[in-house]
Amino acid sequence: MDLSGLRPAGGKRSSKRDRIVQLFLAQKGHVTADELYDLVRGEDPGIGRATVYRTLQWMVTAGIAHKVDFGEGRSRYEPSLRHPRHFHLICNSCHRSSEFLSSDIEAILEEVTAARNFETVEAEIKVFGICEECRTGIKAPALDGAATESVFARDALRIAVATERSGLEFYSRAAALANDPRGREIFERLAEDEKDHLGTLEQRYAELIATDPTLEARPTFLFFKGAAQGIFAEGAEKLRGGVDDLRALLIGIRCERDSHKFFKKYGDRFEDSEGKQIFLEFAEEEREHRDMLIKEYRALQARLGINRPGRRGSTAPPTH
């Protein structure tokens, strides 16, 4: 990571601070100040405890680190730079924490803060209870760095597969309802695209699971079902009420637009990983489908003699 742009206001570059920051950012979990000091001392015995502590406080102020309290009588720190906002489950017995990311919770927070005209600086959700291992004695598999990356990719693929299945149902239904031959052809083509891509994603998922026999059973990290899969499910529900071809195309445009925005938004937030790549690839596919539907929507308007956007009585498709 390039730290050239990170320094305290009015301060000078420090090679010691840079080494501390690099070592901190390499950690996958939550570390205490003393744990980080021990790690730093192992790399460079010449760096003192006070330097480590000052650097930690600077990282919090600079937005590189996030300070968390898990109820164990001491603070812990986790990287926040290029790390999506997430939430914690904390065991009252062993004080260990596990992370999860939920777009549905984020949507609720955004809705509430927007309704109150409240500018959020930081949001933290911690759920306290007793973990499965402390309740049952059954030891859960540890998540080292490699396993965390695999779980991330697994969950990203699960979300993409669920969204693709939902899209396949939507376009199959739209094709069956369409009266306009060209519109029906577009819906059939998109349904075929969804089917092909679904097969590719399912194969990719099977290959990932084959690399680790325990991966399928590991706890879910990404909870995106409502925001992702629900986009096309809602569109399919609208089709059930009976719509004309223009309306069906418009619903498809909105579904693809919202799906593109969703996967692009979260893909941009993630650190470089297979999960990030999956989200951004999917976002690009949704953008291409959106543009195809917009083109067909305008062509159908022309065939029906409906005014183009900007003229009286026209209906413009959403493009952003």
Same domain, 119 and 174: no
Helix (H, G, I), strand (E, B) or coil at 152: helix
Under 8 Å between Cβ of 200 and 278: no
Residues 297 and 184 grouped into a single domain: yes
Task: Give the Å distances, CA to CA, from 146 to 98, 211, 222.
Answer: 16, 11, 16
- CATH number, domain with residue 22: 1.10.10.10
Structure confidence by residue, pLDDT tens digits, 105-134: 888 888 999 999 998 877 778 899 999 899
Domain check: are 58 and 107 in the same one?
A: no
68 and 95 together in one domain: no
Judge if 165 and 275 occupy the same domain. yes
CA distance 264 to 283: 5
Looking at the structure, do residues 64 and 23 belong to the same domain, yes or no?
yes
310 lies in a domain?
Answer: no
Same domain, 283 and 223: yes
Indicate if 73 and 216 belong to the same structural domain: no
φ, ψ for residue 120, nearest 5 deg: -80, 130
Domain boundary among 36, 64, 83: 83
Question: Last residue of a domain, which of 83, 107, 128?
Answer: 83
27 with 113, same domain: the answer is no
160 inside domain: yes
- Give percent of the chain above pLDDT 70: 86
> What is the tens place of the pLDDT at every residue in 26-80?
877 788 889 999 999 888 888 899 999 999 989 888 878 878 777 777 888 887 7
pLDDT grade, residue 85 (50/70/90)? low
In a domain, 315, yes or no: no
Residue 314 lies in a domain: no
Q: Look up residue 230 and give its two tokens.
A: 């629900």
Domain interval for residue 299: 145-304
pLDDT in tens, 305-319: 886 554 444 456 766
Is 8 within a domain? no
CATH of the domain at 98: 3.30.1490.190
User: CA 290 from chain center: how many Å?
Assistant: 20
Residues 268-299: pLDDT tens digits? Answer: 877 778 888 999 999 999 999 999 999 999 99
pLDDT of residue 13: 54
**Does 231 reside within a domain?**
yes
| Domain closes at, from 66, 83, 100 | 83
Q: Summarize pLDDT for 192-217 with one digit per residue, the tens.
A: 999 999 999 999 999 999 998 888 88
Contact call for residues 228 and 163 (beta carbons, < 8 A): yes
The structure tokens listed for 12 are 């000078």
Residue 131 lies in a domain: yes
User: Given a cut of 50, is residue 141 above it in pLDDT?
Assistant: yes
* Residue 304 predicted with pLDDT over 80: yes
* Separation CA 28–CA 185 (nearest Å): 49
pTM as predicted: 0.73
| Residue 218 in tokens | 């590991």
Domain count for the chain: 3
Q: Do 158 and 75 lie in a common domain? A: no
Whether residue 128 is found in the same domain as residue 162: no
Any idea which of 10-19, 181-190, 299-308 has the lowest mean pLDDT? 10-19
User: What amino acid is encoded at 151 in this protein?
Assistant: V
Task: Give me the mean pLDDT over the 170-176 stretch.
Answer: 93
Is 175 in the same domain as 265?
Answer: yes
DSSP letter at 215 equals G
In a domain, 103, yes or no: yes
CA atoms within 13 A on the CB side of 226: 9
DSSP assignment, residue 270?
S
Identity at 245, one-letter amino acid code: D
CB distance 125 to 104 below 8 Å: no
